[in-house]
Amino acid sequence: MTMRFFLVASMVVFCILEISEGGSLSKNFYKKSCPQAEQIILTKTQEHVSSRPELPAKLLRLHFHDCFVRGCDGSVLLESTSNNTAEKDSFPNLSLAGFDVIDDIKIAVEEKCPGIVSCADILALATRDAVSIQFKNKKLWEVLTGRRDGTVSKSDEVLLSLPAPFHNITVLRQLFANKKLTLHDLVVLSGAHTLGIGHCNVFSNRLYNFTGKGDQDPSLNPTYADSLKQTCQSLSDTTTTVEMDPSSSTDFDSDYYPVLLQNKGLFQSDAALVTTKQSKNIVKQLVSQNKFFTEFAQSMKRMGAIEVLSGSDGEIRRKCSVVN
């Protein structure tokens, strides 16, 4: 009897753990309804990345911005209408890119399996596949599927939910906690900044007017600051960009973390990760590339499960930019 009780209890705990990891998502959700789906998404993603090496960074950012507002429901992909301004047109999202890639993949999937595969799942899978191309398509993290698409997208919800490049560690922790993510997830997912670029106007206050007195952020490495000033020469420069991970902006690796420890984090939100003992200790651990890859895989899986719609909730959009 004792052994039987133990087995039953263990199965219950196992089920609870499975639910907390992915909610109602599952492996190979489309195995029967659209068995070609994941291969189509991979092939189309490869085609786009081959000519646009910046896409892994663009899709990572698009996926992140989707999940932090209303959950991973593809709401960031929706266009504004005459009576609603969508997330896509909120100020923090004006520099997002990759919408055309998701639309193109959706068309290819719809040709084979109309009305089956959600735009939210396409975005999640294409993001993973784009980043994994660097590693000869070895999948860097597992993407559970079964998301459905949201039907609501409101620009005024973005600023309330989305971590910003000027946030300090306290605000960042709260925004992640709001999504049931931890400080550890915050530091790990920030490692996505090993890819991509930042616009000068997003961080130039750290160079020229940090406290409103024409001063420089004292926490910023002085040599790095001088280098940035050569590229970003004014507060009003909205077009010039710099690599977020110096000399490595198209390589997915752990170089972001040594950069932080040298006080060369580009955004205030990057620099914030070394302002507390707890977060700084996590940064030190993630200098190890193997450690970073392992932890990033787990945190991406958790992020990809934020407030997902499933079952009869939401819909499967026929076109990612508009509701059915």
- Nearest-angstrom CA–CA distance, 266 and 204: 10
Backbone angles phi and psi of 198, in degrees to 5: -125, 140
CA-CA distance, 67 to 73, in Å (whole number)? 7
Which residue numbers belong to the known binding site?
Answer: 66, 69, 71, 73, 75, 87, 163, 193-194, 245, 253
* Binding-site entries for heme b: 193
Q: Whose CA is closest to 45, among 144, 142, 131, 145?
A: 131
Among candidates 47, 192, 46, which has minimal Cα distance to 130?
46
Q: Which of 63, 65, 184, 199 does the annotation list as catalytic?
A: 65
Indicate if 65 belongs to the active site.
yes
Residues serving a catalytic function are: 65
